[in-house]
Amino acid sequence: MSRPGFVLEVDDRTPPLIVHNGEGFLLERFPLGTRVVYPPEALPPVRDVDEAIDSALRNPVESEPLPELLRAGMRLTIAFDDISIPLPPMKKPDIRQRIIEAVLTMAADAGVDDVELISANALHRRLTPNELRDIVGERVFRSFFPDGKLYNFDAEDAANLTHLGQTKHGEDVEISKRAAESDLLVYVNVNLVAMDGGHKSTSIGLASYKSLKHHHNSHTMIHSRSFMDHKKSELHHSAWRMGAILTQHVKVFQIETTLNNDIFGGPLQFLQKREWEWSIKDQASMLGAKRGLSAAPDKLRHRIFTDVRANYGLTGVTAGAIEPVHERTVAMVHKQQLVEVQGQADVGILGVPYLGPYNVNSVMNPILAACAGLGYYFNSYRGQPIVRKDGAMILYHPVPYQFSQLHHPSYVDFFEEVLAESTDPATIEQKFEKQYAEDPWYIHLYRTSYAYHGVHPFYMWYWISHALDHCGDIVWVGAERKTVERMGFRSASTLSDALEMVSHSVGRSPSITYLHNPPHLIADVR
Amino acid sequence: MTLVRFTQETVRDVKTVARGWRWGRRPQVPRSAEPYVIPREKALFPTAWARTPAAVAAREVLLQGALNSVMRYEISPAVSGLDALGKVDGPCLIVANHSSHLDTPLLLCTLPGPWRRRTAVAAAADYFFDTWWRATASAVMFNTFPIERRGGNLSSTPGDLLADGWNVVVFPEGTRSPDGWMERFRMGAAYLAVEHQVPVVPVGIKGSFAAMPRGRGWPVPGRPKVAVRYGEPLRPADGESARDFAPKVSAAVAALLDEESSTWWEARKRVAAGASPSQSGPDAARWRRVWAQTEPIQTAAAKRQAWK
């Protein structure tokens, strides 16, 4: 029986607590009275994954069983979530591989010849063949990739996009032509956090810039409170409207999966244990890892973290019509991640780890660090943010000035050119977005190399617009001063300094809440 | 240099862990993370031995030989209405107002011998049973048994005693009155009466507050008069709930106190007219309430009372 999440109140008996800090971690002593939100322990995984998948496909929610939807001569498209989830990537076999293999087995039995598999990466970077193979498995890769039937979605390939119409709000719905013209679109999702899945899968994953710009903008993001709660997220409302149009034209069979919180195994297992329960072995592992990482050269340290693969047990798989499936999925995600927190604090503290959705097999640049902390973790709430309006956020990350020219070329220019001009999301959007979105060089790199789309750094900045609007002060502990200053934040050497810096707005003895994640959690702030 | 720094940082980290995780000492769990443990029910002090024939005999000697003499030397009790006890057959609840530690000895010493020897007293577990010696002394002297007055599990002892044929003394106010006036009666006594279908003998005790209020360990000098008046037994009607019966018990005690200040006939008339004066006292400053309660009770010589 796994224990639910809970809120610890730091007292004199509390040992130093782990704080994620980029490619490393710290032991931090928090002021007495600090509330620390711990995620629930990993739920027990389903015993027989293959049987669970088979059962979901044959007994879908508000849909005919999958075998009945498959027939010879049909056009079948299987879309799947890209490498941005789960985080960290899961140990092989990936759950998507197991589901796709089950779907293809049924398709083969039904005599379906015309099958294509699309990585639903929207404006994310293309996946390398190896990355595709890691997700779909060797058997699927060998069967489809050489023939060009397993590929990345290209949002700039105008010839292969179909405009399905507009919502009543005037939002364009433009998605992959192959998906739009298929007799059946099977979407294979991994619902790592509550934000994923539902209509966000197809309506966003297979959509073009023309369609995405309607919800990926500063106005929508600032009114998504939060986008971990799809019922209160403008972003999701827009995706749901688009989904309604999409499902009028395309028959979608949605398969959603949920994972437990079993992320760190082996020598890093201490990272998901509660500190005061650490055994001698855990303490030794922590000391060894901490000292080892501090002695390791940057490249080796980066390699060590990049190679982390999460255990992740499957907690549920549901298939059928998008909306009822997603309701069940969200309920399961909440069961794993929801923690009740009473009231907001003056100061919120987050440790930003080495990985976000957009730097898998890459480096976390300053904009992605801001997005991981102020976009994803800040928004990991239901009800209201953990910090009161005009309160302060304190984040841990070194925020080094490092960019991947391969994966994030437009980020470099965004950082140097756009942020130097303004850090206000609305201003940036108005002045610069179009230019970056239509830049032919960025488009070329997006289509032919492994670069994120030119407009992607803007989206990252919109992602944090709610936090920028809500927080009075944002201070990074141990961060490179120049990089955080460029982003409009401040840097402190220690937590005490950071609290000192924000004391003008929150006082000398503020209430503090620290979100102890990952593993993932959603603070249900009452 | 790098090696020196690395070593220093390693030593610092090891020290942090050694201190934080208390190497060589008992590990600690933050208070807010301690598992919730259902508090163990406190074992009740056993009092059955105090109702054995030997204990009853010893108590009779203590009460009649020692306590009664001392009490009558220090105060001047006046008991009336004992004939009402003749209308009770079998065990009953004896319910009185409570404003002094004198109340229990007054009741026990004024009850006829056969009644006294079959009477137990409900006493606050947190007050009389907090130490073994106090519990033993009160059980020997007054045949007390512990009862939780701050919630918690309902004690089965009073029910068992009634079933065994013992009379039970209950002070429904739960504690001694701070100013001598009657406090709100709690439901316990009425509940017991309804549950076990036993009569309630109301008793009004007047003057005990003036004789020995809270905070005093011995009666005031001058042999103050204390009146103990037993009333007609009340029986819960068929199907009557404790909630309906409780006000009747409270009113009966209030009427007895009223009767003590006037006469039986006047008090009866006021009861019939629903005009019994409130025994919860005037809504006035504390000193006035205390003042009123410490007024000496008029002696029979001073006031002729035909119905007394």
Span B216-232, pLDDT tens digits: 888 888 888 899 999 99
Strands A161-166 and A172-176: antiparallel
Query: Omega into A518 within 30° of 0, i.e. cis?
Result: yes
DSSP label of A39: P
Of A13, A16, A294, the CB nearest to B30: A13
Which of A7, A12, A14, A34 is the mutation pick for testing B, counting most B CBs within 10 A? A14
* DSSP three-state, residue A400: coil
Q: Nearest-5° angle of CA A425, CA A426, CA A430?
A: 115
Residues of chain B with pLDDT > 90, as a percent, come to 30
pLDDT at res. A441: 97
Contact residues on chain A for B10, CB-CB shorter than 8 A: 291
Burial group, residue A400, by CB count within 10 angstroms (0-12, 13-18, 19+): middle
Kindly calculate the radius of gyration of chain A based on its CA atoms and give it in whole angstroms: 22
Most confident of A118-122, B99-103, B153-157, B269-273: A118-122
Cα–Cα distance between A262 and A259 in angstroms, integer? 8
Burial group, residue B150, by CB count within 10 angstroms (0-12, 13-18, 19+): exposed
DSSP label of A265: -
Containing A406, the helix (H) or strand (E) segment is: none
pLDDT at res. A41: 94
Cα–Cα distance between A352 and A399 in angstroms, integer? 10
The residue whose two tokens read 């990252």 is A460
* DSSP three-state, residue A36: strand
Confidence of residue B89 (pLDDT cuts 50, 70, 90): confident
- The candidate with the shortest Cα–Cα distance to B207, out of B224, B182, B183, is B224
- The candidate with the shortest Cα–Cα distance to B223, out of B118, B119, B59, B102, is B102
Q: How close B30 comes to chain A (CA, Å)?
A: 5
Query: Omega into A93 within 30° of 0, i.e. cis?
Result: yes
The residue whose two tokens read 């809970």 is A6
Q: What is the mean pLDDT of residues B187-214?
A: 90
pLDDT at res. B305: 55
pLDDT at res. A286: 96
The residue whose two tokens read 């902390």 is A373
Is the pTM for the entire model greater than 0.90? no
- The candidate with the shortest Cα–Cα distance to A199, out of A72, A329, A313, is A329
Contact A70, A253 (CB under 8 A): no
pLDDT at res. B215: 81
Higher-confidence position of B301 and A460: A460
A283:B17 CB<8 A: yes
Residues 6+ apart with CB under 8 A from A440: none
A287:B20 CB<8 A: no
Contact A211, A178 (CB under 8 A): no
Q: Domains along chain B?
A: 48-293 (3.40.1130)
The lowest-confidence range among A301-310, B87-96, B287-296 is: B287-296
SS (H, E, C) chain B: CHHHHHHHHHHHHHHHHHHHCCCCCCCCCCHHHCCCCCCCCCCCCCCHHHHCHHHHHHHHHHHHHHHHHHHHHHCEEEEECHHHHHHCCCCCEEEECCCCCCHHHHHHHHCCHHHHCCEEEEEEHHHHCCCHHHHHHHHHHHCEEEECCCCCCCCCHHHHHHHCCCEEEECCCCCCCCCCCCCCCCCHHHHHHHHHCCCEEEEEEECHHHHCCCCCCCCCCCCCEEEEEECCCECCCCCCCHHHHHHHHHHHHHHHHHHHHCCHHHHHHHHHHCCCCCCCCCCCCHHHHHHHHCCCCCCCCCCCCCCC
Count CA within 13 A, CB hemisphere, residue A246.
Answer: 35
Which of B6, B23, B28, B36 is the mutation pick for testing A, counting most A CBs within 10 A? B28
Contact A358, A457 (CB under 8 A): no
A276:B14 CB<8 A: no
B300 has a pLDDT exceeding 50? no
Instruction: For residue B14, give the chain A residue with the closest CA.
Output: A287
Whether the complex's predicted ipTM surpasses the cut of 0.90:
no
What is the Cα A263 distance to its own chain's centre? 15
Higher-confidence position of A445 and B66: A445
Q: How close A337 comes to chain B (CA, Å)?
A: 19
Cα–Cα distance between A157 and A147 in angstroms, integer? 19
pLDDT at res. B83: 87
Contact A478, A351 (CB under 8 A): no
B154 has a pLDDT exceeding 70? no
A11:B9 CB<8 A: no
**Any bridge partners for residue A8, and if so which?**
A36
Contact B105, B215 (CB under 8 A): no
* DSSP three-state, residue A296: coil
Contact A26, A50 (CB under 8 A): no
Write out chain A's pLDDT in tens, 526 residues: 789 999 999 999 999 999 999 999 999 999 999 999 999 999 999 999 999 999 999 999 999 999 999 999 999 999 999 999 999 999 999 999 999 999 999 999 999 999 999 999 999 999 999 999 999 999 999 999 999 999 999 999 999 999 999 999 999 999 999 999 999 999 999 999 999 999 999 999 999 999 999 999 999 988 888 888 888 999 999 999 999 999 999 999 999 999 999 999 888 899 999 999 999 999 999 999 999 999 999 999 999 999 999 999 999 999 999 999 999 999 999 999 999 999 999 999 999 999 999 999 999 999 999 999 999 999 999 999 999 999 999 999 999 999 999 999 999 999 999 999 999 999 999 999 999 999 999 999 999 999 999 999 999 999 999 999 999 999 999 999 999 999 999 999 999 999 999 999 999 999 999 999 889 999 999 8
Q: How close B38 comes to chain A (CA, Å)?
A: 18
